[in-house]
Amino acid sequence: MRCAVFTPLFLALSIVLALAAPFAHAADKVAICYGAVSSALVPLAKQRDFYTAEGLDMDVHLFPSGRQALEAMLAGECELSAAAETPVTHYSLARNDFRIIASISISKSFERVVVRTDRGIVTPADLRGRRIAVAQFTGAHYFLDTFLVANGLMPQDVSKVYLPAQEVVPAFLRGDVDAITHWEPNIHNAATALGTKAKVFVAPGVHVSPFLLVGRYEYVRKNPVSIERILRALLSAERFAREQPANAKALVARNYTASPDEIELIWLLFEFRVSLGQTLPFILENSARWEIGLMPPAQRPAMPNYLDFIYIDGLLAVKPAAVTLIH
């Protein structure tokens, strides 16, 4: 008799638990779009299962540039993106429906100018009147203008050819333009392909470029716990990259289908660190000031308050020491 009563109850309870289990333990599904190797912590956390360890089902989508990754996020293709500060400030001048969650890397010499010496370009002064290809409103675009000014030229002294990031190097190799401004490993690849017909101009410190983890405002507002989990996964990737650099570089090379030499070159240019530093608003304002200056006076917007764009609570919750931004 006891077995007859127990069995139906046991079966009913088992069915209820079995149906409830997937919902109780389902991982948070999140998509993140990212671009250049400067965003290496994003795929590295995926390759090392750090997202999974935090209860996340993370889809990572690679784009040719951070700007294209950011645009995909703003179009609703993903909840988060990783991009340089320049495209972030570009869109901040027209909209405020996203938030900066953290800086995930920073470099003082990521972008460079590559010129064709077979066209008589030997010094920066020789760029006057030349055609230079660059991806518009990217870190490379900002670097080009500041590089020109630092070398006694004005941005209008050259003819800029705006192309998608993936089309810049092919245009250079075909001879459509006299020079390009780009980031690694594109610089290395372009210079190597032309050999003695190319020269690279370097200007460390002209553009300090942080790469930012950015999220759609509504997602960030409604999912603070998921944001904390994502940040913990990225912090684990940061620690792995610091403690096992050889293994980290090998995984990153595989993700970007880049050679070990290309990744080694980039690794020397970047500090991969999850942070929110006091200099970040200043860097964002400089980038915004540059772009506002490109606009006709009647169309220039007011300078945004970038403290309103920064979501500080996530990183503050998981690693307070990484937050030096006054708040």
Other C-beta atoms within 10 Å of 95: how many? 9
pLDDT at 17: 40
In-domain check, residue 14: no
Q: What is the CATH number of the domain that holds 120?
A: 3.40.190.10
* Structure confidence by residue, pLDDT tens digits, 6-52: 444 444 444 444 444 443 346 689 999 999 899 999 999 999 999 99
Is 121 found in the same domain as 192? yes
Q: Which of 174, 201, 228 is the last residue of a domain?
A: 201
* Structure confidence by residue, pLDDT tens digits, 154-206: 999 999 999 999 999 999 999 999 999 999 889 999 999 999 999 999 998 88
Is 70 found in the same domain as 162? no
Q: Which of 201, 225, 242 is the last residue of a domain?
A: 201
CA–CA distances in Å: residue 107 to residues 103, 183, 216, 252: 11, 11, 25, 17
Is 118 found in the same domain as 95? no
Is 171 found in the same domain as 130? yes
146 vs 205: CA distance, rounded Å: 10
Is 98 found in the same domain as 223? yes
Domain count across the chain: 2
- Of 245, 183, 215, 246, whose CA–CA distance to 313 is shortest? 215
In-domain check, residue 290: yes
* Structure confidence by residue, pLDDT tens digits, 311-326: 999 999 999 999 999 8
In-domain check, residue 64: yes
**Band (248; pLDDT cuts 50, 70, 90):** very high
Find the domain containing 124 and state its range: 111-201
* Structure confidence by residue, pLDDT tens digits, 98-153: 999 999 999 988 899 999 999 999 999 999 999 999 999 999 999 999 999 999 99
Q: Which of 201, 222, 252 is the last residue of a domain?
A: 201
